[in-house]
Chains A and B, each alone.
Chain A
Amino acid sequence: MPPEAIAPILAVESLATHFPMRNALGLRTGWLRALDGVTLEVAPGEVLGVVGESGCGKSTFGKTLCGINRPTSGRILFQGEEATRARSAEARRLRRRLQYCYQDPSASLDPNWTIGRSLAEPLVIHTGLTRAERTARVHAALEDVGLPKGHLSLYPHEISGGQQRRVGLARILMLQPSLVVLDEPTAGLDLSVQAHVLRLLMDLRGRYALGYIFISHDLAVVRLICGRVAVMYLGRVVELGAAETVFRSPAHPYTAALLSALPVIGGSRISEHFRLEGEPPSPARLPRGCRFRPRCSRAAEICERQEPELAPAGDGRRVACHFPLPS
């Protein structure tokens, strides 16, 4: 059953977040269009991957969803409710179920607070639970991530990095969210640690019926974990579809280039089939028409005149391209 048939837990319409660029005098010289019109839906409990390279806007997307960045235009609908410009009390209510996990979850822990206090903080802010009830929930969360109760009185710097990460994850679970935005959860991790983290994430997902928005630049991991994937380039989604389909036969030339850049152990060397010159332009100065046109080998005249929109392209996929690759 295609995900669109069930009521989505999150729906985004033409979401955009622009940052003002200021010169030395503080006057605005232009706009950095980090996120420039994203439309997609997330089904309850699904793992949606968001991939792209630096400057594509995937991190801004995650932060805008969770209220860390304020959107410039567009709509966010979470569990059917308008969440775009939620003011304080309303925002607080919404943020219970939609949580943001930093690349290093332990960075969200205040180094001057004990772990127990940090874990209880979400409950203090959002719920009216008594201290005893909070302690019980905190104990349960620690157990879920496999940490001993003794850790409650320790400070973050007194435990190892891996344990800090687990505490960070536990903190996110305190409010029993339905959807968690994971921002680069495996970046920079050793392979064995990465394997640990992925297992933990999947385990927690099963246990708590969580959905994930998995933002990552690591395509191999995304292919493994995610049901659907959105490929972003310069602030927009250029391809959206089932992960396996997108990876096996990409429709957008950028997706194809991205995949061909991946080393394949046991396969041929990249140099033999990788074709992508240059670097992505800065989001501050976007090309006219299709954003990928300057680097695209299939570009034609229409690509400069008209920016392609996300349109269905068979197999339940959507592509933003005038000349998508044949499947």
Chain B
Amino acid sequence: MSSIRASGGMARQRAHPLTDLVRVADVSVDFPAPGGTAKVLDRVNLAVGTGEIVGLVGESGCGKTTLARLILGVLPAGATVRGGALCFEERDVLASPREEALVRRAFPIGFVPQEPRAALSPLFPIGAQAGEVLRWSRRRARSGRADARRRIAEMFARVQLPDPLAIMRRYPHELSGGQLQRVLIAMALLREPRLVVADEPTTALDVTIQAQILTLLRGLALEQRVAVLFATHDLGAAWEICDRITVMYAGQEAETAPSAVFFAGPRHPYAALLLESMPRPGAGLPESITGAVPNLIDPPPGCRFHPRCPRALPVCRSERPPARGSAVESVRCHSPIPARDAA
């Protein structure tokens, strides 16, 4: 079953058949920062199963973008990865640089960024940029130019872009944000990945376009059995698209649960407060969480949320809570909110 290197938290969790695609086990990441070292990720655990859509939810400073970049293998220069394992289909890329190169070649990951305009070069037409993606994909041996064009057009049609051939000739500045995001989704899927990492892909879009893109993304992922790691601070978008939610706070993961279970009743105090701070009709002004996000250079010991937590116990100040539960449903808290009785 579980062949990852045993480490405190994960050892207690049984590997679940649904979480065997990507596994982050007890990984920490540090960045140099003015004034010291920022401990951006602190022994984080995350798992994504084949074809699963997992939401990585948190506010600024929670580390979700860093975690996404870690999985993609594009951490900025200067970042140090400490300890733990990052496994793609049970192969650990942190074992050695050679292992990383081998594994990543065999396991392409698609990426859909937040700002589509920043991800495309303004100098080249869309078709050429999509073609570049194909050249680097696994099946490069087979494609001639005509074959590549056909595959790109097919993918563009699948993301519901009108008139794919015309779009391929256009330049990025000629397309709207929504159209560009569809192009990027298509480009991510062209690599025939097993996993797509989407970092706030709909934050910059209007709400009606967001609805279209979310529907599209979920549909495609389910249809092609591609797993999605969906990083966002928008709980509504997470509700829409995700099967399972992982909430992060200040570099630590707080809670993981299936979507329906999570939204019905989160167990981690931070997650609960987060849900409560969403504007809801008829509920009056939302409550804000007292205090502020901690400084990552000198974060609070133990559970990083304890200074702001209404349920904090003395042990929270000294000991990092272990994950209670399984790989699909767990909460890292010394005094979690009691679970609702299953209906």
Contacts and interface: CB of A to CB of B under 8 A. Distances in A.
| A and B in contact, CB less than 8 Å | yes
Contacts, number: 110
B95 interface: no
Interface string A276-289: 10010000000000
Contact of A263 (B176, B233, B237, B288): B237
Contacts of B281: 220, 223-224, 244, 247
Interface in B277-317: 277-281, 283-289, 292
Nearest to A219: B207
B207 A53 contact: yes
B335 interface: no
Given A192-B274, A196-B288, A263 B279 contact: no
B274 A271 contact: no
A262 interface: yes
Interface stretch (B4-12, B36-44, B67-75, B213-221): B213-221
A221 interface: yes
Q: Is the interface of B mostly helix, strand, loop or mixed?
A: helix
Nearest to A203: B285
Nearest to B308: A192
Given A192-B288, A223-B279, A263-B237, A217 B274 contact: no
Contacts of A276: 208, 211-212
Interface in B189-230: 203, 206-212, 214-215, 218-219
Interface string B234-249: 0111011000000000
Given A261-B208, A279-B178, A271 B277 contact: no
Given A192-B289, A195-B287, A224-B284, 6 more contacts: A54-B177, A196-B288, A224-B281, A224-B286, A247-B281, A274-B211
28 contacts: A53-B208, A54-B177, A162-B292, A188-B203, A191-B233, A191-B278, A192-B59, A192-B289, A194-B286, A195-B285, A195-B288, A196-B288, A198-B279, A198-B285, A199-B288, A217-B207, A221-B279, A224-B281, A225-B285, A258-B207, A258-B208, A264-B239, A265-B235, A265-B278, A270-B240, A276-B208, A279-B176, A279-B179
